[in-house]
Amino acid sequence: MRGKGAIVGGAYTRTMGTPLLIVSPQPRDLGGGFVVRRLLPSVRRAAVGPFVFFDHFGPLVAGPRDNHDVRPHPHIGLATVTYLFEGAMMHRDSMGAVQRIEPGAINLMRAGAGVVHSERTPDDLRDKTRVNHGLQLWLALPAADEEAAPAFTHTGAADIPAYEIGGASVRVLIGAAFGAASPVPQYSPTLYLDITLSAGAAIDLPGGLADEAALYTVDAPVKLDGAAVAAQRLALFDAGRTLRIEASEPARVAIVGGAPLGQRHIWWNFVSSRRERIVQAADDWAAQRFARVPGETEFIPLPEKRPTAS
């Protein structure tokens, strides 16, 4: 998916008790009526650990006449993480990877020095009414990996650690928690959990899982250590201590966090610790010097307003 311009980085001050900060979503129209809720980067908070971009899309009902395809577009300096709750998506990239993404699986694409990909509706679903619902996140890469060769990893739903704790179901998407570790690669210390709670259920989130962390309420309000967090809000919390998550109704939450990587520049689909690298990437895309996605003839053009080195 596509982003816009920002500079991210920095840390927040830890306090005890209520969430440190609650971020509300901002709607972003990606075209064709495909509107997402964007939580990161925001005016109030630019990043949580290595997570510099957080989009929640759906649940969105699409019919045969709807076209929510994301045409080929480039990335540098980041890793995209795609996770679906409902629906399906077909990933294609300039490395030659072709992968159908379905609920519960994790698609991790390291852009590094540069990659192009598209995200389209699978052909077998185009003439059907369907629901699209999921999260797409970006991870900033450590400076040493920003120019690494692109890489793609698909981890199927059956390979993600999942278990029950009381009335809560936990899936460890990236990182480690509750004695389980995900097989999904990490480029820096990263935590990504999918937790569903039944009505009246509670779960204690151990302290020390990440340097920085936040909870996202996907579909219903919860209480975080006694403090109310409305639905579809990103609540930063003190990751150094055990916190209780309580749900009065069925609820799903995502936990994201990890070690912060320092300041990053973001413009459109590019992330880098160096502004001049983003300028170069924009020039390269304008001149179509990026590798092409096999079988694709379309592409998303560069925004009219170009980045500058200063």
Please report the domains of the chain, with CATH numbers, ordered by start residue: 6-286 (2.60.120.10)
What is this structure's pTM?
0.93
How does pLDDT run across 279-309, given as a tens digit for each residue? 999 999 999 999 999 999 999 999 999 998 8
How does pLDDT run across 168-194, given as a tens digit for each residue? 999 999 999 999 999 999 999 999 999
pLDDT at residue 2 in the model: 52
* pLDDT at position 264 over 70: yes
Answer whether 6's CB lies under 8 Å from 45's CB.
Answer: no
* pLDDT at position 16 over 70: no
* pLDDT at position 254 over 60: yes
**Mean pLDDT score of the chain, rounded to an integer?**
93
Tell how far CA 47 is from the center of its chain: 11
Average pLDDT for residues 268-279, to the nearest whole number?
97
pLDDT at residue 20 in the model: 83
C-alpha–C-alpha distance, residues 95 and 92, integer Å:
8
C-alpha–C-alpha distance, residues 34 and 89, integer Å:
14
pLDDT at residue 9 in the model: 44
* pLDDT at position 156 over 70: yes
Answer whether 73's CB lies under 8 Å from 117's CB.
Answer: yes
* pLDDT at position 6 over 80: no
Average pLDDT for residues 143-150, to the nearest whole number?
97
Q: Band of the pLDDT at 15, cuts 50, 70, 90?
A: very low
Average pLDDT for residues 90-116, to the nearest whole number?
98
C-alpha–C-alpha distance, residues 47 and 51, integer Å:
6
How does pLDDT run across 38-92, given as a tens digit for each residue? 999 999 999 999 999 999 999 999 999 999 999 999 999 999 999 999 999 999 9
* pLDDT at position 12 over 70: no
pLDDT at residue 99 in the model: 98
Q: Band of the pLDDT at 31, cuts 50, 70, 90?
A: confident
C-alpha–C-alpha distance, residues 259 and 239, integer Å:
11
For 146-170, give one letter per residue: b (16+ CB within 10 A) or e.
Answer: beeebbbebbeeeebbeeeeeebbb
Q: Band of the pLDDT at 32, cuts 50, 70, 90?
A: confident
Average pLDDT for residues 266-271, to the nearest whole number?
97
For 64, which DSSP code? T
C-alpha–C-alpha distance, residues 62 and 280, integer Å:
37
pLDDT at residue 34 in the model: 82
pLDDT at residue 138 in the model: 98
pLDDT at residue 3 in the model: 53
pLDDT at residue 14 in the model: 37
Which amino acid is it at 115? V
